[in-house]
Chain A
Amino acid sequence: MVPFALLAQTPPQKPDSQQPMGGASTGAPTTYTSRRTVGITDPTAPVIFEDVTDKTPLTNFRHRSGEAAKDYIFETPSGGVAIFDYDNDGRPDIYLVNGSTIGAMRGKEKAPRAALYHNLGNWKFEDVTDKAGVANERWGMGVAVGDYNNDGRPDLFVSNFGVSRLYRNNGDGTFTDVADKLGVARKGWSTGASFGDYDGDGRLDLFVPGYVQIDLNNLPPSPSDVNKAGGAGCQFRGAPVMCGPRGLTGEGDTLYHQKADGTFEDVSVKAGVNDPDKYYGFSSAFVHVNDDKLLDLIVVNDSTPKQLYINKGNGTFEEIGYPSGIALNENGREQAGMGLAVGDYDNDGRVDFHITNFSDDSNVLYHNDGDDNFTDVTFQAGLGEVSIPFLGWATSFIDYDNDGWLDLFVVNGHVYPAADTHQWGTSYAQQALLFHNLKGKFERVGAPPGNALANAWPGRGLAVGDLDGDGRLDLVINNLDAKPVVLRNVAASPGHWVGLRLIGDVTKKSPRDAIGATAYVTTGSVRQRQDVVSGAVFCSQNDMTLHFGLGAATKIDKLEIRWPDGSVESFDVPAVDKVITITQGKGK
C-alpha cells in the first residue's frame, strides 16, 4: 500500500510498503539511474564459488516456462531443484524441475522434461532421467524429498501447475508415480511442499501450498490487453505486465495425512490448515518452532500474510501468524513472500526464518524469541537495505566457510521482462546474494570480477549439498528459461566440519529419514542446531545430510539428537571432517 508516512523513519529504515502495481510488489517504487542488481563487483572479495556447470551434463539442461514475454503469472515462478542421494551411494544426486508451455498443456507440443543426474563423483554426473522415469513432463514448480514409505529410499513429490506427482523410489534406479494411487495427485497450482510427521505416527505426511486459481481456457488479461478498449490488463509502474497474484483468486492449501495402509487422506480442514482465505502460497516447511516435540508448520505466502501453525498435538493446528509476528514485517506490512530459509543463525538454540520478497521491498529475517514470538530483525542484522532492489526467490542458510555460523545464500530474478527496459533500479536477471554471518550480523560477500557471483541469472530454485564430499557445501541453482548453475565451493581455508546422516527408528514412530529430527552439536562454548527439513528454500530441497562447520575445533564435545518421536540421545563422534551415519537407538 502507499506509505502511511515516511515520517519518523530514519535511515537505514526500509520504506513502508505500497499497494501492488500489477499485483505483486509491496514496496515503494523509486526511480534509479542505474541497475543495482547486476554488475556489482568487488576486486578485493574472496573467491568462494566457482561455476562448474559447463564441466557437467547439467549444462545441457534447459528450463522452459512459457514464453519469454511472460504474459501470464504461471509462466514466472517455476524452477525447483533437489539435492538428494536417490541410490544411497553416499554421493548426493541432483533433480531439476522443468516448466512447460501453454501449447504443451493443450497437447499441441512436446512438454519440457525434468532431469535427474546421478552423481558419479569427481564432478561427473550422468543423466539418468529416462531410466529413472522422473521427467514429469507437466508444468513443474517444485520438489520435496521424503521417504514416505520408510523403505530407506528417498521419494520425490513434484508439485505441478496441473496434477502433482509422487515418485516412489523403487530402489533399482527407477521411480513410479504413485500420486493417484495414494491420493496425493493434487490438482490446481501446487508450489513449495513439505513432508513431515505432524501426528507422530511414524509415517510422513505431506503439506502442499496452493498459489492461484488459473483456468487455461479463460486466461487473465495479458500485457497487450492494457491498451485495449475497456482498460483490461495490469501495470507495474505504468508499464504493461502480467496480472497477479493480486486481483486473481488464490488457492487453498492441502495437508495429506498418511494412513496406516500407506495411502493419504486430505485432512486440511480438520487440521485447520486449509487456508480458507486462499492466500497465495509459495513455500512451506514442517519444523519445530517451539521445541515441544510436535512439528509445527510455516507457510510463506505471496502478497498476503504468512501463516505460522502451531501443532496442538491432537491433529489440529492453531494459526498464530499475527500474534507471533510472522505474518507481517516490522512495519505491519504484508509482503510478497517467496522463499524460506530455516536455521538457527545466531546459535541460540531456536530456529529462525529468512524469507525473500519482491523488489522494492527488503527480504525479512525473523528471529525466534521463544514462546512463539518472533521479531523482524532484518535491518539490525544487515540484511535489509541491500536486498531492496532484488526480487528474491530461493534462500538457504549455508555455512560456506565452516566457521560454525550459518551464512546465507539468496537467489534472485525479476518476474517482469520489462525490468530491463525501465529505470526501476532492478533487472530481469539478477546476481545472487551471499552473506557472511559475523556471529549474528550479516555482511554481503562481494563478487570478484569474472567470478560466478558476478553473473546475473533469472534464478528461482536452489539446493545446497556437498556434491564432491570435500566438506564444503556446493550449490545448484535452477534458472527460469535458462540452463542451471552448479557452483563448487572453493573457499580457502575453511574450518573443520562434520556431516550427519540421521536414520530414525520406525518402530519407535520416527520416520526413517528422520525428517523432524534436530541435531545439537557443541564445540567449546558454541552449540549449534540443525533440523532435518523437507522442502523450504523455494520449491526446492537441500540435501538432508546435516552439515556442521566446526571452525578450528577438531573434536565435538557433545552431539545430541532429538528424534522425531521426541526422544533424545547423545552420541560420541570419534572423528570430524567426515560424514557419519547416526542411527536412532544406538546412542546413549
Chain B
Amino acid sequence: MKLSLKIVLFSIALLLAAGSAVAQDSGTVLTGADLTRVVPTSFYFQGLSAPTQMRHAAAARFGKDRYVISGLVDTSGYSADVRAKYVGFLITDSAITLNGESLQPGAYGFGFGTEGKLTVMDLAGKDLLSVSITNDKDLKRPRPLMMTADGAGVRLYNGKNYVVIAAQ
C-alpha cells in the first residue's frame, strides 16, 4: 500500500516535472531531415486528402519528443467554400496554446479570415478555435508559412502575420 502510494506519488511528480519541462521549453524549430521526417506528405480534411506543399511546411519540437507540425496543402481539389476557409494543417501531440488559447493534442485544419483571425477546425471543418494574429511589419524575407523561435514559444508565420505557439 505504502509502496503503491509512493509509486503513484513518484509518477505524479515525474509527470509534473515533465510537464514543467515542456512548459518551460520555448521550442526548437526543425530543419532539414528533422523536419521532413515529421511532416506528412498529405493531410486529410473534410472528405479529401490533399498533398502538403512541402516547401511550406514547418515543425517545432517542445521538450524531448513533443512536436507541433504545420503545413500548407494544395487545396485545388476542394470546393470554393472549403478553399475559402482552409489552407493547411496543424498537428500537435501535446497540449499547446495559440496566443494563449488552449488546443488539445490532435490533428486540425486551419485557415485565415479577413478579420485578422486564425481559425482552427476539426477534420470535419467545424470551427474550434479562433485567435487574433499579429503583423510583423519589419520581417524581412517573409514566407507563406514558417516557424521561428520566440521567447515564449515559436511563431507560426503566414507571410508577415503570426501567432505564437507555446507548450502547455
Contact = CB atoms under 8 A, between A and B. Distances in A.
Given A2-B85, A5-B133, A23 B76 contact: yes
Interface string A321-340: 01101001011111000000
A246 to B, nearest CB: 4
A220 to B, nearest CB: 11
Nearest to A330: B142
B126 interface: no
A332 to B, nearest CB: 3
Given A231-B79, A235-B79, A334 B144 contact: yes
A5 B79 CA distance: 22
A7 interface: yes
A229 interface: no
Contacts of B115: 5
A310 to B, nearest CB: 16
A7 B80 contact: no
A47 B126 CA distance: 57
Contact of B160 (A246, A247, A332): A332
Given A305-B55, A333-B144, A2 B79 contact: no
A204 interface: no
Given A8-B137, A322-B143, A323-B141, A19 B83 contact: yes
A5 B143 contact: no
Contact of A332 (B87, B111, B137, B142): B142
A260 interface: no
A238 B161 CA distance: 28
A2 B113 contact: yes
A561 to B, nearest CB: 35
B75 A331 contact: no
A7 B144 contact: no
A364 interface: no
Given A328-B142, A332-B160, A6 B114 contact: yes
Given A16-B159, A328-B142, A8 B55 contact: no
B135 interface: yes
Contacts of A192: none
B164 to A, nearest CB: 14
Contacts of B15: none
B55 A1 contact: no
A261 to B, nearest CB: 39
A277 interface: yes
A3 B114 contact: yes
Contacts of A22: 76
B158 A246 contact: no
A18 to B, nearest CB: 9
Contacts of B157: 332
A332 B76 contact: no
B116 to A, nearest CB: 4
B76 A247 contact: yes
Interface in A10-31: 16, 19-23
B72 interface: yes
Contact of B161 (A5, A231, A237, A243): A5
A7 B87 contact: no
A322 B144 CA distance: 11
Contacts of A3: 112-114
B105 to A, nearest CB: 24
A305 B141 CA distance: 13
B106 interface: no
Mostly helix, strand, loop or mixed at chain B's interface?
Answer: mixed
Contacts of A247: 74, 76-77
Nearest to B84: A2
A234 interface: yes
B22 interface: no
Interface string B108-144: 0001111111100000000000000101010101111
B52 to A, nearest CB: 13
Given A305-B55, A331-B142, A331-B160, A21 B116 contact: no
Contacts of A277: 55
A277 B133 CA distance: 31
Contacts of A231: 79
A332 B74 contact: no
Contacts of B118: 4
Interface string B94-116: 00000000000000000111111
Contacts of A4: 112, 118, 133, 158-159, 161
Contacts of A332: 139, 141-144, 157-160
Contact of B144 (A20, A23, A328, A330): A328
A165 B114 CA distance: 48
Nearest to A15: B114
Contacts of A234: 76
A6 B116 contact: yes
A331 B142 CA distance: 6
A1 B76 contact: no
Given A246-B74, A277-B55, A5 B87 contact: no
Contacts of A20: 76
A20 B114 CA distance: 16
Contacts of A334: 144
A2 B159 contact: no
Most central of A2, A16, A277, A305 by chain B CB within 10 Å: A2
Nearest to A23: B76
A306 to B, nearest CB: 13
B35 to A, nearest CB: 15
A246 B78 CA distance: 12
B165 to A, nearest CB: 15
14 contacts: A1-B87, A1-B144, A1-B158, A3-B112, A4-B161, A5-B113, A7-B133, A19-B75, A19-B87, A23-B76, A237-B80, A277-B55, A323-B141, A330-B142
Which 4 pairs between the two chains have the least Cβ-Cβ distance?
A332-B142, A8-B135, A247-B76, A4-B158
Interface of B: 55, 72, 74-77, 79-80, 83-85, 87, 111-118, 133, 135, 137, 139, 141-144, 157-161
Given A5-B133, A7-B135, A332-B157, 19 more contacts: A2-B85, A2-B112, A2-B113, A2-B114, A3-B112, A5-B161, A8-B137, A8-B161, A9-B135, A16-B159, A19-B75, A19-B83, A243-B76, A322-B141, A323-B141, A328-B143, A331-B160, A332-B139, A333-B144
